[in-house]
């Protein structure tokens, strides 16, 4: 292997390592987004369940309506 070939192989290896580091960082960022979205989904599922319970329970008397003597 000539010196030129060895240098080119070294450059390719460095390029590959940099691409791998970039991919690892991107994967970590995507994982963070997925974790955040899962938390949001769980929070929204709880809110939907709460709203369904309210709907089944019927109207709530203290919902921005003035008392009857007004």
CB 30 within 8 A of CB 36: no
- Does residue 45 surpass a pLDDT of 80? yes
CB 60 within 8 A of CB 54: yes
User: What is the pLDDT averaged over residues 15-31?
Assistant: 98
pTM score, whole prediction: 0.63
Domain boundaries, the chain: 1-51
pLDDT tens string 27-41:
999 999 999 999 999
Which tokens go with 10? 């070294």
Closest CA to 20 of 12, 31, 10: 12
Residue with tokens 């009857």: 68
Which tokens go with 64? 């921005």
């Amino acid at each position: 292997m000539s010196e030129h070939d060895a240098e080119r192989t070294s450059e390719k290896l460095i390029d590959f390592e940099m691409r791998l580091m970039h991919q690892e960082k991107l994967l970590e960022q995507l994982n963070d987004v997925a974790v955040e979205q899962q938390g949001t989904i769980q929070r929204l599922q709880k809110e939907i369940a709460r709203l369904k319970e309210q709907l089944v329970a019927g109207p709530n008397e203290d919902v921005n309506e003035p008392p009857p003597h007004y």
